[in-house]
Amino acid sequence: MVAKVAIVTGANSGMGLETTIGLVNKNVKVIMLCRSKIRGEAALQKVKAITGKENVDLMLCDLSSIKSIDDFVATFSSKYHHLDLLINNAGVVTIKRQETVDGFEMMLGVNHLGHFHLTNQLLEALKASAAARIVIVSSGAHKWGKIDFSDPFFKKSFNVAKGYGRSKLANLLFMKGLHERVAHTNVTVNALHPGAVATNIGVDRETGFGGKVVKLLVPFFKTAEQGAETAIYLATSADVEGISGEYFIDKKKAPVSKRASDPQLIEHFWRWSIDQTTL
């Protein structure tokens, strides 16, 4: 019996690491997709030590770079002929406006456009699976998110809350648009809100700024392990077999904002995303 193959983005810490551990314990072959080789290798050894299993691998990819994504997909395709599970987990929060190497505002660039391009490039591998599942980690922050096509990358005025909300709304618009496109295939796609989770998402990756705030909030938030439960559920449970195009909170279907379910916005945003990622 061929083991299921999964990719987890942002797998070296927080919910990504816990999702990896959960899947490896279910005998899924997990590819940890990480930006940093040093942090990725440390996390890889941690997963092996915790699970006592070897069905886990590390591959490098910077989701803020279209070229890096293309290079990863080429490497993956040379090693694997199918993909069963894709967990789009990685996310960033930037206090100040930053840009990716391709000129995208960092949060929309990584949280949405990087995953959008990665997923589309992996669709053939997913379709080669008997029954593939895509799981997108969004957030309740999508409810205050708005898409401004006249200034999508906040060049005029940046606000961290608006930027994060926009990127999380983008996750759901992507999920809904992808659902329509894979509706008659063996691929399903769902999204989730993990709850308020104490992770390093808001900690500056270069300076460590924000780390003390995270430590103060830990007693009031879910642990990363608890936050990963719904992602693991959507990836593996028989309860959601064949279910697609839905948004989940605590393993239950939940409503999305009106914007996130607007058919015209979903299609317009899909076409815009294609234009941005076709470099």
**What per-residue confidence (pLDDT) applies to 182?**
97
Structure tokens at 86: 């894709």
Considering its fold, how many domains does the chain have in total? 1
**What per-residue confidence (pLDDT) applies to 218?**
43
SS3 annotation, the chain = CCCCEEEEECCCCHHHHHHHHHHHHCCCEEEEEECCHHHHHHHHHHHHHHHCCCCEEEEECCCCCHHHHHHHHHHHHHHCCCCCEEEECCCCCCCCCCECCCCCEHHHHHHHHHHHHHHHHHHHHHHCCCCEEEEEECCHHHHHCCCCCCCCCCCCCCCHHHHHHHHHHHHHHHHHHHHHHHCCCCEEEEEEECCCECCCCCCCCCCCCCHHHHHHHHHHCECHHHHCHHHHHHHHCHHHCCCCCCEEECCEECCCCCHHHCHHHHHHHHHHHHHHHCC
CB 124 within 8 A of CB 136: no
Helices 115-127 and 160-182: crossing angle in degrees, nearest 10, is 20
Residue 164 annotated to the active site: yes
Q: Is 195 left (phi over 0), alpha (psi -120 to 50) or beta?
A: left
Q: In what order do the strands lie in the sheet with 5-9?
A: 56-60, 29-34, 5-9, 85-88, 132-137, 187-193, 247-249, 252-253
**What per-residue confidence (pLDDT) applies to 219?**
46
**What per-residue confidence (pLDDT) applies to 186?**
97
CA distances from 56 to 19, 71, 253 (A): 12, 20, 30
**What per-residue confidence (pLDDT) applies to 2?**
63
**What per-residue confidence (pLDDT) applies to 279?**
72
- For the chain (279 residues), the mean pLDDT of every run of 10, in chain order, is 88 94 97 97 98 97 98 97 97 93 98 98 97 96 96 96 95 98 97 70 44 46 76 97 97 96 98 95
Give pTM, 2 decimals. 0.91
**What per-residue confidence (pLDDT) applies to 158?**
95
Q: What is the CATH number of the domain that holds 121?
A: 3.40.50.720
**What per-residue confidence (pLDDT) applies to 216?**
45
**What per-residue confidence (pLDDT) applies to 194?**
87
Domain residues for 121? 5-277
The span from the CA of 277 to the CA of 109, in Å, is 10
